[in-house]
Chains A and B, each alone.
Chain A
Amino acid sequence: MSNVACGTTPGIALRVVIKEKKVKILVPVKRVVDYNVKVRVKPDASDVDLANVKMSMNPFDEIAVEEAVRLKEAGIATEVVAVSAGVANCQETLRTAMAIGADRGILIQTDVELQPLAVAKLLQAVCAKEQPQLVLCGKQAIDDDANQTGQMLAGLMGWPQATFASKLVVAGQQATVTREIDGGLETIEVVLPAVVSTDLRLNEPRYATLPNIMKAKRKPLETTTPAALGVDVAPRLKTLKAAEPPKRTAGIKVADAADLVLKLKTEAKVI
């Protein structure tokens, strides 16, 4: 939509003001085992033991929330909606997103183990309802290390995808995204609506301040379910076994550079 305003005062040149259509951003956030926790496998090797483990927002999702909030602060985004799928405690993750600056939250509550395809379908249903112009998500969750959901959502929506973003510029109905690729950087231009996934260097998320944490508690949080969204979330992959990888053991200490080079040449024979 463009609005055209005409100056009527004689002697003043005609001024044309193009009003940019503003962007609504959806930010999916995942509740994962805190990145400082070293996870353990259950004694029966069926899965990872998540009992009494500290949970936090996935770090890449925090970067996504931060970027969305910055776009709002810059006057480019109108609204930032955080969405999380999973157990009731995902509310905490949504409150964290709102403390960073998201305007409201949507919880898709279920106790079923959610795999990336199921989450992408849930997000597709939310996109149909919320009509965002931009979905900003983390590139990968640090629990399953899948790196799939954003790309899957883009595919399901028929939208372009700009993954692994280290720089994002939104102007009008376009986003220019610098991507981290093997061997360097790539810059692409995508038409909105689009999915952008965040890499580490996009920004450094702020710490939520106490007043903002308090304020977040009063922001709207809507709860829905996969069934209400009409999405079948049954897992497609079955985990048969979870095991700890073989441990490396510490070797020896060497005295100095000369000793190290000697050992690498004669003992390890790698140089």
Chain B
Amino acid sequence: MAILVIAEHDDSSIKAATLNAVTAATKLGGEVHLLVAGSNCAAAAAAAARISGVGKVLLADAPHYADQSPENVAALLVSIAGAYSHLLAAATTRGKNCMPRVAALLDVAQISEISGVESADTFVRPIYAGNVVATVQSADPVKVITVRATAFEAAGEGGSAAIESLPAGPDLGLSRLLGRELTKSERPELTAAKVIVSGGRGMANGENFHRLLEPLADKLGAALGASRAAVDAGFVPNDYQVGQTGKIVAPQLYIAVGISGAIQHLAGMKDSKIIVAINKDAEAPIFQVADYGLVADLFEVLPALQAELG
């Protein structure tokens, strides 16, 4: 049977995390199909068809998919699920919102945020904020899965899949989108960035993020992140949050500034290739996972770092 990946897109392009979900799907043994549900989303479907490893793109283009509401998308998925052994989506806020609803409607379990595929019915997933890794086996006829993007390589380009139009499912009219306020930034997205500069409670206020961390991030071409403590304190918006309850990242370089290293923060970044910690408290737990630690006052180090980077 074939495997269906639900594409995350903005009607014109495919979001990066979908490429990782496609790679997870290719490990399951079966043809991989990609569903693009949206409104005026032919461009996204065309982009989906170019992803390497995708055998077919299903396009459901209708006005009531414009918001990609979980209610309408889940109803569509349930109507086509019979042809598939697995339904996958990236574990983004959108994937996490929609897939459990699909699973419940199919009367099957959902397997959240898999970080490994052992076989077609056995998966590895982190629990307890990543302090434990569980191997779980599903006996359900359809496996509904969300994929932790950082655990799988991104699928490349070079595919030329056929695009097939799907009849739209029902418009349930259960919810209405009033608006989105998206953070506008020239910097890379947190989950796709090669370098991340992250600030914690030690930054003291939002102005210091702006004044001291942003220039450093810009010098390094880095995304800006934060610990939950910094978000709770109101220094930065919630979508900066890295950790168990925020974003899971695994960049080449993660620079933690004024972050003590609570378990729940480590859960979001400990798979980074190189970790740098800057903290004036030599006992801070962040140093236990850092490749390079600098015990110093961040308010002196950050300007010096900027100067060093030229």
Contacts and interface: CB of A to CB of B under 8 A. Distances in A.
Interface of A: 33, 35, 38-39, 41, 48, 60, 115-117, 120, 139-140, 142-156, 159-164, 166, 176, 179-191, 199-201, 236-245, 248, 250-254, 256-258, 260-261, 263-264, 268, 270-271
A160 B275 CA distance: 41
Contact of B127 (A145, A148, A236): A145
Chain B's interface size range is: 35 or more
Given A257-B301, A264-B276, 15 more contacts: A48-B127, A116-B109, A120-B104, A145-B244, A148-B103, A151-B70, A152-B104, A180-B93, A181-B239, A182-B191, A183-B189, A185-B237, A188-B69, A191-B174, A263-B292
Contact of A163 (B97, B134, B177): B97
A245 B130 contact: yes
Contacts of B175: 160-162, 188-191
A115 B239 CA distance: 28
Interface stretch (B28-36, B48-56, B179-187): B179-187
Given A250-B289, A271-B220, A190 B128 contact: no
B238 A248 contact: no
Contacts of B290: 250-251
Contact of A188 (B176, B181, B247, B287): B176
Interface in B158-198: 174-183, 189, 191, 195
Given A254-B294, A264-B292, A189 B176 contact: yes
Contact of B129 (A115, A142, A240): A142
Given A166-B238, A250-B289, A155 B174 contact: no
Contact of A185 (B71, B181, B191): B181
A38 B127 CA distance: 12
Interface string B91-119: 01110111111111101111111000000
A171 B108 CA distance: 35
A155 B101 contact: yes
Contacts of B276: 260, 264
B122 interface: yes
A65 B180 CA distance: 27
B238 A180 contact: yes
A183 B182 contact: yes
Interface string B65-80: 0010111001000000
Contacts of A140: 245
A148 B100 contact: yes
In the A-B complex, the 10 residue pairs with the smallest Cβ-Cβ separation, listed nearest first, are A152-B104, A251-B291, A160-B174, A257-B304, A151-B100, A148-B100, A236-B109, A155-B101, A184-B182, A155-B104
Interface in B257-310: 263-264, 270, 273-276, 287-296, 301, 304-305, 307-309
Contacts of A48: 127-128, 132
Contact of B103 (A152, A181, A200, A261): A152
Nearest to B302: A257
B128 A143 contact: yes
15 contacts: A39-B132, A48-B132, A142-B129, A147-B100, A149-B100, A166-B238, A182-B92, A187-B180, A236-B109, A240-B122, A242-B127, A251-B290, A260-B292, A261-B309, A264-B276
Interface in B18-73: 67, 69-71
Nearest to A190: B175
Contacts of A163: 70, 93, 96-97
A148 B112 contact: yes
Contacts of B294: 253-254, 256-257, 260
B238 A187 contact: no
B253 interface: yes
B94 A200 contact: no
Given A116-B100, A240-B122, A252 B177 contact: no
Contact of A38 (B96, B107, B239, B263): B263
Contacts of A144: 112, 127
B1 interface: no
B89 interface: no
A200 B135 contact: no
B102 A240 contact: no
A39 B134 CA distance: 13
Contacts of B70: 151, 161, 163
Given A140-B245, A184-B183, A271-B253, A258 B292 contact: no
Contacts of B74: 155
Nearest to A251: B291
Interface string B221-264: 00000001001100001110000110100001100000000011
B157 interface: no
A170 B139 CA distance: 40
Given A117-B103, A258-B308, A237 B136 contact: yes
